């Protein structure tokens, strides 16, 4: 009939997330419903850990991207300073026009 996530309490009082699968069976003149529960605690822990790691990776990628952009900008400024220095040197090194 359906599948869904539920919170279940064990006999000892422990509560855990579970996936419930409900089926309907027709037995001669009776209808019987069965409910299968599967503990999904480990799966949820793994999903949360995966989300945390993805977020951490995204943060690292943003930081590294910013570092690389800063390096590129610094290299552009250095190149511009070298061009200006070269131009000034050429101007000083060229013989005066009579």
What does the block give as tokens for 54? Answer: 């993805």
What does the block give as tokens for 34? Answer: 């069965």
Residues 30-43: tens digit of each pLDDT: 999 999 999 999 99
Sheet holding 30-39: strands in order across? 2-9, 15-27, 30-39
Other residues' Cβ atoms within 10 Å of the Cβ of residue 56: 10
pLDDT-derived band at 93, boundaries 50, 70, 90 = confident
The strand pairing partners of 35, in sequence order, are 22
Q: Where are the domains of the chain?
A: 2-39, 42-93
Instruction: Say if residue 12's pLDDT is above 90.
Output: yes
Element (H, E) at 18: strand 15-27
Given the structure tokens 């539920």, which residue do they identify?
6
Sorted by sequence, the CB contacts under 8 Å of residue 5 that are 6+ apart come out as 17, 18, 19, 20, 40
Instruction: Say if residue 83's pLDDT is above 70.
Output: yes
Other residues' Cβ atoms within 10 Å of the Cβ of residue 16: 14
């Amino acid at each position: 009939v359906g599948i869904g996530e539920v919170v279940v309490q064990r006999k000892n009082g422990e509560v855990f997330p579970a996936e419930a699968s409900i089926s309907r069976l027709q037995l001669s003149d009776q209808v019987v419903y069965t409910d299968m529960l599967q503990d999904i605690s480990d799966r949820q822990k793994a999903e949360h850990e995966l989300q945390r790691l993805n977020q951490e990776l995204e943060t690292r990628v943003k930081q590294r991207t910013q570092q690389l952009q800063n390096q590129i900008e610094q290299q552009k400024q250095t190149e511009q300073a070298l061009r200006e220095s070269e131009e000034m040197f050429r101007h000083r090194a060229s013989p005066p026009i009579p």
